[in-house]
Amino acid sequence: MREGLSLVGVLVALSLGFGLLSETFLTSASLATIANQLPTALTLAVAMTLVLVAGEIDLSVGSVLAVSQGVLGVAMTQLGWSWPAAIAAGLTTGLLAGLVNGAIVVRWALPSFIVTLGMMEAARGGAYLVTGSRTQYIGADIEWLADISWLGLSAPFLAAVALVILAEVLLTRTVLGRQAIAIGTNEEAVRLAGIDTRRVKLTIFALAGLLAAVAGVMQVARLASADPNAGTGFELSAIAAAVIGGTRLMGGRGSAVNSSLGVVIMGVLATGLTQIGVQDPTKRLVTGGVIVLAVIADVYRQRWAGARQHAA
C-alpha cells in the first residue's frame, strides 16, 4: 500500500514536471496518446508480474503476442473466419504457448529463463510462418473493437484495467496467488507442505501465455492489422515496469497494481521526454537510468522497513 502511494507520488511529480516544461503535455491529446498505448503494456506487465512473483520469468511474452495476433489476422483475412472465432483462435495460440513453456519448465525442472528464451525465438518464427512474414491488414472488421468507448475510455483500456484488478485479486485473495507467492519465496518448503508446486507453476505460465495473446488482440484492434514483428522487446518493458512497481525478480513479492503504475510511469516518461524535445537515444538513456534508480530506491525502502520491524 505504502509502495503504491510512493509510486503515485512519483507519477504526479513526473506529470507536473513535464506539464511545466511543455505546454502540450497536460493536454487531452497527449494523455490520449499515453492511454492508447497502455492496454497492451498493462496486460503484458500483469502477465510478467504473475510469473515473476512465482520466482520464474517469461521472456516469450512479446513473441507469443506476435504469433497469437498472426493467427488471428490470418484467420480473418485469409480464412474468412468471423471475429469471435478468430479471436478465440488467437487466444488459444497464446494459451498453448504458455502451457508448453510451463510443461517444459515443470517436467524437466529447467530454468524458465532458458525455456522461455527458446519460446521467444520459436514463437517469433511461428509468427513469420503463419503470416508468410507479411503484415495482415484487417481493417474495419476488427477496428471497431478499439472504438467502443465508455465515458471516453476505450474498451481495450477498460479491459486492461479489469485484468489488473483481477490479477491483484488473484495474488492477494486466492489460494493460487498465495501458492505462487510462497513458491517464489521457497519452493522446496511449499512442496514439502504438500502442495503440488508443478500444477501451480503450469497454471501461472498458461495464464501468462493467455494474457500475452490478450495483449495481442488489443494491439490488433488498435492498429487494425496483425504484424509478425509486433511485440519485439515488449518482454523487457514488462520486466522493467514490474521492477519499477517493486516486484522482486527472485520471486515472492509483487503486485499487479504497482506494476501497472510502473507501466504508466514508463509511458509518461516516454511521452513527456518526446514532448520536451528529447531525442530517442537520450530518451533510452534516461529510461535505463530510471529503471536502475527504481531498484536502488527499493533496496533502501526495504532496508528502512526492515530496520523498523526488526526485533531480534
Partner 1 sequence: MTDPGAVFVATGLEKRYDVPVLTGVDLDLRPGECHALVGENGAGKTTLVKILSGLTPASAGGMMLDGAAYRPRDRAEATSRGVRTVLQELVAVETLTVAESLFLERWPHRWGWIDRDALARESRPLLDRVGLQHLDPGQPMASLGIGQRQLVEIAAAVHRPCRLLLLDEPTAALTDAEAQRLFEVLADLQARGTALLYISHRLEEIRRLADRVTVLRDGRVVASEPIAAVSTDALIQLMVGRTVSEAITRTTPATDRPALQVRGLDAGPAVQDISFDVHWGEVLGFAGLVGAGRSETMRAVYGADDAHRGEVRIDGGEGGQRFASPGQAVEQGIAMLGEDRYRQGLLGTLPVRVNVALACLGRLARRLGWMDRTAEQTAVDALIRRLRVKCTSAEQPVDHLSGGNQQKSLIARWLLREPRILIFDEPTRGIDAGARAEVHQLVAGLADGGSAVLLVSSDLRELTTLSDRIAVLSKGRLVATFEGPDFDPEAIMTAAFSGHVAPHLTPPDHADHA
* Chain residues in the site for partner 1 (CB under 8 A): 173-176, 178-179, 181-182, 185-186, 188-196, 252-253, 307-312
Please check whether residue 87 is in contact with residue 144, taking contact to mean a CB–CB distance below 8 angstroms: no
Cβ closest to partner 1, residue 228 vs residue 246: 246
Please check whether residue 253 is in contact with residue 247, taking contact to mean a CB–CB distance below 8 angstroms: yes
Cβ closest to partner 1, residue 129 vs residue 193: 193
Cβ closest to partner 1, residue 190 vs residue 265: 190
Q: Give the contacts of 44 (CB within 8 A, at least 6 positions apart).
A: 61, 62, 65, 211, 212, 215, 234, 235, 237, 238
Report in angstroms how near the CB of residue 42 gets to partner 1 at its nearest: 24
* Of 27, 30, 11, 40, nearest in space to 157 by CA: 40
Cross-strand partners of 311? none
Report in angstroms how near the CB of residue 302 gets to partner 1 at its nearest: 9
Q: Which residue has the cell 497454471?
A: 203
CA distance 89 to 87: 5
Report in angstroms how near the CB of residue 240 gets to partner 1 at its nearest: 23
- Count how many Cα atoms sit within 13 Å of the Cα of residue 166 in the half-sphere of its side chain: 12
Cβ closest to partner 1, residue 163 vs residue 266: 163
Cβ closest to partner 1, residue 74 vs residue 190: 190
Report in angstroms how near the CB of residue 16 gets to partner 1 at its nearest: 35
Report in angstroms how near the CB of residue 306 gets to partner 1 at its nearest: 8
Cross-strand partners of 225? 137
Report in angstroms how near the CB of residue 238 gets to partner 1 at its nearest: 23
Helices 28-53 and 61-77, axial angle in degrees (round to 10): 120
Cβ closest to partner 1, residue 296 vs residue 311: 311
